[in-house]
Amino acid sequence: MHEMSIAVNIFRIIREKLKEMYSGYYPVKKVRVVVGKMSTVVPEALEFCFQSAGCGTIFDGAKFELVEIPMKIACQDCKEEMAIDEPFLFCRKCESFNVEVVSGRELYVDTFEIDEDAGIIETDRNEFE
C-alpha cells in the first residue's frame, strides 16, 4: 500500500526534525500534511495508516490534518490558467497540450505540534523501522 509508505515517511521526517532540534522526541499532538490531488493519495487511507502505524509511538493519538491542493495547469499557448478535475493535461480553452502543472503534485509535511510538557523521550518505538 502506497499510503503506508507515505505515513512511514511522515514519521521519519518529523523524527529527524525533532532529533535535530532537541536530540530526542516529544509526543506529537498534531500533524498537518499537504497533498496535491495529482499525487493519487487517498486521504482516508493515509489517515488510517498514520493512526494505525503511529500506535504506541510518539504519534499515538496525534490529530491528523490533511490539506488538499487542487490541480491547476497553465497553458503555454493561450496563457490561460485553470483548475482541472481530471488529470488530463490539455488546455480546456484552446485544447493545446502545451501545458504546465501549476499545482496538484504537492506532498509534504506542512506543520506539526508537540507536547513539550510531556517531557523528552530518548528513543521512540519503531524508530529504526
Interacting residue ranges for Zn ion, rule: CB under 5 A: 75, 77-78, 91, 93-94, 96
Q: Hey, what's the cell of 13? A: 521526517
Distance separating alpha carbons of residues 88 and 60, to the nearest angstrom: 39
- The one-letter amino acid at 45: A
Q: Judged by CB, which is closer to Zn ion: 13, or 89?
A: 89
Q: Is 35 exposed, middle or buried (0-12, 13-18, 19+ CB in 10 A)?
A: buried
Q: Judged by CB, which is closer to Zn ion: 47, or 80?
A: 80
**Least separation, in Å, of the C-beta of 19 and Zn ion?**
47
Q: Are 15 and 25 in contact (CB under 8 A)?
A: yes
**Least separation, in Å, of the C-beta of 82 and Zn ion?**
9
**Least separation, in Å, of the C-beta of 38 and Zn ion?**
19
Q: Judged by CB, which is closer to Zn ion: 34, or 82?
A: 82
Q: Judged by CB, which is closer to Zn ion: 20, or 85?
A: 85
Distance separating alpha carbons of residues 103 and 110, to the nearest angstrom: 16
